[in-house]
Amino acid sequence: MTVQTFTPSATKAASENTVTQPTHTTDVSMKKLYIETQGCQMNEYDSHRMADLLGDSHGYVLTTNPNEADILLMNTCSIREKAQEKVFSELGRWRKLKEQNPDLVIGVGGCVASQEGDNIQKRAPYVDMVFGPQTLHRLPQMLDQHQAQVEKPKKEKIKLVDISFPDIEKFDFLPEPRVEGFKAFVSIMEGCSKYCSFCVVPYTRGEEVSRPLDDVLAEIAGLAEKGVREISLLGQNVNGYRGETFEGGICTFPELLRLVAEIPGIGRLRYTTSHPLEFSDELIQCYRDLPQMVSHLHLPVQSGSNDVLQAMKRNHTIDVYIDKIAKLRKVRPDMHLSSDFIIGFPGETDEHFAETLQFIKDLDFDHSYSFVYSKRPGTPASELPDDTPEQVKKDRLAQVQQVIKQSSIDKTDAMLGKIERVLIEKVSDKDPNLLIGTADNTRLVTFIGDATWVGRFAEIEITEIKTLNLVYGELLNLEPDVA
């Protein structure tokens, strides 16, 4: 299992597990909360909100050790079968902890909870609370309800399962995000209405609902005041953002980007994820006009074959994607592009696969994610005949990953001699004269500098390539603090 702190990267594979890390030192007498997060950045964001919520309401502090926790929460992912199976194997381990400590509270949230509802407790009766991605703000009340019925006989207990989709009310109940460092995620919309034929998200997280514009802007302004310099706007399909304005109008995603870029202090803007179909000219113009927007885009395409795209119900052709990227590269020639690919979709032939491989080479992608197709219950693709042997799919995946890896190595190598804009994030643990920051393309950049520069942006000339994700450089220019 990978354990990592909550630092935004451009994107991450949706099957990694993370343990939500405490940001403050804890007192041994405090009640402790352990959160394991599976899946996407939306889930990571939600896990942090859960920690803030239970910290504020019940005084819980985070721990990274499940053995010392009073509450164990699992924020689950159901995007692929493998991720879903992990839930029950991990819950089996938690059951043992509960046998040793009967007061331990176990909660399951996220997309598996949303999909399975009270089936979770049928399979794992020691689970006390089940909540969905849109009801996590009700955790404090659920916990109170649980505590109130602990002593009751089993047959009098009500099942604590709430996986409804109560519009966007969640954000009205979440405390202000706590700030650690210079980067923050801001969720701008929930759910997805695209209904790609393979995907469970519209069913587990619901249809698209956007947060009102003023709420988003106020949250970002508050974060900027607390020192945040880089914002990652989050949503399953951020391009579908239609935030209500104070005057009762609708703000689109490109309009939102322009407003966020005006907030003093915000020196860098990322977002994840958007759909190619709604990757509009207005959005491309934002790249032309807003220097805060990074030259890095994660734009999932899923396949390089028109036949497969059609079967996936992506509603666009390869040429549409290619045209949009060409337009984007016209206004931002140094654009780093990454994507998601599903390999072995039902009906994918050797020819279709060859087209995908060629497409990846032609589009010159940076680090991308690829997955073998996983049949998800209730999705239209799960009904399609699929006669490709599993081993063939695995071999195709290995080929794709080889090409992807080589192209990210090439992208890092190509940084040599270039000038990168870097957000300086910290002093190196190993050498107090070295600073560490991130480039637009998420590579770590190390260079000699002064600790007082942390939190500022700098232009760094890259002088040495160390690893795939780490380069060395020299300071050319230190930008004034953007606040």
Rounded CA separation 156/245 (Å) = 46
Among 88, 171, 195, 453, binds ligand F3S (CB under 6 A): 195
C-beta atoms surrounding 483 within 10 Å? 13
342 is a site residue for ligand SAH (CB under 6 A) = yes
The 98-117 contact track toward ligand SAH, x by CB under 6 A, reads: --------------------
Rounded CA separation 143/147 (Å) = 6
224 is a site residue for ligand SAH (CB under 6 A) = no
Please indicate if the annotation marks 286 as binding a ligand.
no
C-beta atoms surrounding 103 within 10 Å? 9
Choose among 186, 179, 257, 258: nearest CA to 215.
Answer: 186
Among 84, 210, 232, 236, binds ligand F3S (CB under 6 A): 236
Among 201, 309, 312, 337, binds ligand SAH (CB under 6 A): 201
The answer to whether the bond into 273 is cis (omega within 30° of 0) is: yes
CB of 341 to ligand SAH, least distance (A): 6
Determine the longest span between alpha carbons in the chain, in angstroms: 70
Q: Is 457 left (phi over 0), alpha (psi -120 to 50) or beta?
A: beta
Nearer residue to ligand SAH within complex by CB, 220 or 381: 381
What is the distance, to the nearest Å, from the Cα of residue 77 to the centroid of all Cα atoms in its chain? 12
Q: Which residues pair with 230 in a beta bridge?
A: 183, 268
Among 236, 303, 368, 441, binds ligand SAH (CB under 6 A): 236
231 is a site residue for ligand SAH (CB under 6 A) = no
User: Taking the chain, what is the end-to-end CA distance rounded to the nearest angstrom?
Assistant: 38
Please indicate if the annotation marks 199 as binding a ligand.
yes
Among 120, 196, 231, 343, binds ligand F3S (CB under 6 A): 196
Residues 323-362 that bind ligand F3S (CB under 6 A): none
143 is a site residue for ligand F3S (CB under 6 A) = no
Among 199, 231, 335, 445, binds ligand SAH (CB under 6 A): 199
202 is a site residue for ligand F3S (CB under 6 A) = yes
192 is a site residue for ligand F3S (CB under 6 A) = yes
356 is a site residue for ligand SAH (CB under 6 A) = no
- Taking CB under 6 A as the binding criterion, the range among 38-46, 193-201, 242-250, 394-402 that sits at the site for ligand F3S is 193-201
| C-alpha distances out from residue 434 to 10, 209, 230, 331, 445, Å | 24, 44, 21, 34, 10
189 is a site residue for ligand SAH (CB under 6 A) = no
Nearer residue to ligand F3S within complex by CB, 131 or 279: 279
CB of 272 to ligand SAH, least distance (A): 6
Among 6, 8, 10, 14, binds ligand SAH (CB under 6 A): 14
Nearer residue to ligand F3S within complex by CB, 194 or 367: 194
Choose among 65, 62, 73: nearest CA to 31.
Answer: 62
Residue 292 near residue 284 (C-beta atoms within 8 A): no
237 is a site residue for ligand F3S (CB under 6 A) = yes
Rg of the chain (C-alpha set):
23
Cβ burial, residue 344 (10 Å; 0-12/13-18/19+): buried
106 is a site residue for ligand F3S (CB under 6 A) = no
Q: 390-413 and 350-363 helices cross at what angle (nearest 10)?
A: 10
Q: Which residues bind ligand F3S (CB under 6 A)?
A: 192, 194-196, 199, 201-202, 236-237, 275
From the annotation, which residues make up the binding site?
Answer: 40, 77, 111, 192, 196, 199
From the annotation, which residues make up the binding site for [4Fe-4S] cluster?
Answer: 40, 77, 111, 192, 196, 199
